[in-house]
Amino acid sequence: MYLILSIPLSLFAIFISRKINNDIIISIVSYLFFFISPILTYFGIIGVLTGFDSIYTSGLYFGISFYTVNIGYQLLTNREIIKTNPLKFILTIINPLYLFTGPFPNQISAKFKSFNLKIFIKRLEIINSELILGVFFAFILAPSFNPLLKLKESTEIVDILIFGIIFELYVYLNFAGFSMIAWSFMRLFGINVKRNFNQPFSATSIVEYWQRWHVSLSYILKELFFKKLKPKIGIYNSVFLVFLASALWHGVTMNFLIWGIVHSLFWCVSYYFHKRDFKFFNYFLLFFGVVIGRIIFSEINTGILFLKFKTLFNISQWNFHLGSEIATISLHNPDILNILITIFLIFLEITMPKFSKSYKNYNYLRAPLVSTLILLFICLSFAGFNSNPIYGNR
Amino acid sequence: MAIDKLKYFNKIKRLIILIWITYATVFNTEFAVYLPKVTDYFQKDNLEINKGIALIGGSNVETGLSAELISTNFYECLNLGISSEKEEFSEYTNYIKDKVSTDLIVYSPASIWSETPFAKEDSYRNSFLKLSGYIPSISIISQIREVVSPSSSLIKFNSFGDQVGFNCSNELFSFKIDQQKFTNSNDAIVEKIIARVEKLKGITGADKVFIRIPPVYAEEDKKKLISKCMEIRIKALKSAGIIVVRETIISSDKSLFCDNFHPNEKGREFFSMELKNLLQKMKL
Mean pLDDT, range A356-377, rounded to an integer: 92
Interface check B17 vs A, CB under 8 A: yes
Contact A372 B9 (CB under 8 A): yes
Distance from CA of B136 to the nearest CA of A (A): 6
Q: Tell me the average pLDDT of chain A.
A: 87
State if pTM tops 0.90.
no
A5 and A89 in contact (C-beta within 8 Å)?
no
Q: Which of A133, A148, A337, A372 is best to mutate for the B interface (most B CBs within 10 A)?
A: A372
Chain A residue numbers touching B179 (CB-CB < 8 A): 54
Contact B139 A332 (CB under 8 A): no
User: Which pLDDT does position B173 carry in this prediction?
Assistant: 40
Nearest-angstrom CA–CA distance, A179 and A195: 8
Interface check A371 vs B, CB under 8 A: yes
Mean pLDDT, range A205-229, rounded to an integer: 92
Chain A residue numbers touching B133 (CB-CB < 8 A): 385
Contacts 24+ apart (CB under 8 A), B96-100: B96/B54, B96/B56, B96/B203, B96/B204, B97/B203, B97/B204, B98/B48, B99/B47, B99/B48, B99/B49, B100/B48, B100/B49, B100/B54, B100/B56, B100/B204, B100/B206
ipTM of the complex: 0.81
Q: Is the pLDDT of residue B30 over 80?
A: no
Q: Which residue has the higher pLDDT, A125 or B47?
A: A125
Mean pLDDT, range B266-284, rounded to an integer: 88
User: Which pLDDT does position B34 carry in this prediction?
Assistant: 45
User: Which pLDDT does position A364 carry in this prediction?
Assistant: 93
CA distances in angstroms from A36 to A31, A45, A60, B98, listed in the order given: 9, 11, 14, 63
What does residue B55 show for φ and ψ, rounded to 5 degrees? -95, 120
Instruction: Of A11-15, A39-43, A50-54, A229-233, give the lowest mean pLDDT range.
Output: A50-54
Q: Is B15 exposed, middle or buried (0-12, 13-18, 19+ CB in 10 A)?
A: exposed
Nearest chain B residue to A370 by CA distance is: B9
Q: Is B45 exposed, middle or buried (0-12, 13-18, 19+ CB in 10 A)?
A: exposed
Chain B residue numbers touching A47 (CB-CB < 8 A): none
Interface check B171 vs A, CB under 8 A: yes
The C-alpha torsion from B15 through B17 and B22 to B27, rounded to 10°, is 150
Q: Which residue has the higher pLDDT, B89 or A214?
A: A214
Contact A368 B6 (CB under 8 A): yes
User: Which pLDDT does position A47 carry in this prediction?
Assistant: 82
Q: Which residue has the higher pLDDT, A135 or B119?
A: A135
With helix as H, strand as E and coil as C, how does A289-308 read? Answer: HHHHHHHHHHCCCHHHHHHH
User: Which pLDDT does position B123 carry in this prediction?
Assistant: 40
Give the Cα-Cα-Cα angle B216, B80, A383 (nearest 5 degrees): 60
Q: Where are the alpha helices (DSSP H) in A189-278?
A: 206-212, 215-221, 227-250, 254-275
Give the Cα-Cα-Cα angle A74, A75, A81 (nearest 5 degrees): 75
Confidence of residue A81 (pLDDT cuts 50, 70, 90): confident
Nearest-angstrom CA–CA distance, A157 and A318: 7
What does residue A199 show for φ and ψ, rounded to 5 degrees? 45, 65
Contacts 24+ apart (CB under 8 A), A185-189: A185/A97, A185/A131, A186/A95, A186/A97, A187/A123, A187/A127, A187/A130, A188/A120, A188/A123, A188/A124, A188/A127, A189/A115, A189/A120
Interface check B119 vs A, CB under 8 A: no
Contacts 24+ apart (CB under 8 A), A288-294: A289/A206, A289/A209, A289/A262, A289/A263, A290/A168, A290/A206, A290/A209, A291/A161, A291/A164, A291/A165, A291/A168, A292/A164, A292/A262, A293/A259, A293/A262, A293/A263, A293/A266, A294/A164, A294/A165, A294/A167, A294/A168, A294/A171
Contact A334 B140 (CB under 8 A): no
* A and B: number of Cβ contacts within 8 A: 81
Nearest-angstrom CA–CA distance, A62 and A117: 31
Encode pLDDT of B203-244 as tens digits: 888 888 999 999 988 878 778 888 888 888 888 889 988 899
Nearest-angstrom CA–CA distance, A53 and A61: 15
Interface check B283 vs A, CB under 8 A: no
CA distances in angstroms from A124 to A97, A358, B181, listed in the order given: 17, 23, 36
Q: Where are the alpha helices (DSSP H) in A35-85?
A: 36-42, 64-77, 79-84
Interface check B13 vs A, CB under 8 A: yes
A68 and A95 in contact (C-beta within 8 Å)?
no
Between A57, A150, A379, which is nearest B20 by CB? Answer: A379
H or E stretch covering B107:
strand B104-108
- Chain length of chain A: 394
Mean pLDDT, range A288-296, rounded to an integer: 94
Q: Which of the 8 DSSP states describes residue A138?
A: I
User: Which pLDDT does position A29 carry in this prediction?
Assistant: 93
User: Which pLDDT does position A187 carry in this prediction?
Assistant: 87
Nearest-angstrom CA–CA distance, A269 and A346: 25
Mean pLDDT, range A361-383, rounded to an integer: 91
Encode pLDDT of B34-53 as tens digits: 444 444 555 666 777 777 89
Contacts 24+ apart (CB under 8 A), B143-146: B143/B27, B143/B33, B143/B34, B146/B33, B146/B34, B146/B35, B146/B36
User: Which pLDDT does position A386 carry in this prediction?
Assistant: 64
Between A332, A375, A387, which is nearest B13 by CB? Answer: A375
Contact A384 B172 (CB under 8 A): yes
Touching B: A residues 103-162, CB under 8 Å: 125-126, 128, 132, 143, 146-147, 149-150, 153
User: Which pLDDT does position B202 carry in this prediction?
Assistant: 87
Closest CA relative to residue A151, chosen from A323, A332, A341, A338: A323
Encode pLDDT of A91-107 as tens digits: 888 888 777 776 777 76
Encode pLDDT of A309-362 as tens digits: 988 888 777 776 666 666 667 677 778 889 999 999 999 999 998 888 888 889
Encode pLDDT of B102-139 as tens digits: 888 999 988 888 766 554 443 443 333 333 334 455 67
Encode pLDDT of B137-194 as tens digits: 567 776 776 667 655 555 678 888 888 776 665 444 444 455 566 666 567 788 888 8
- Hey, which bits of B131-248 come out as E strands? 208-212, 216-217, 244-245
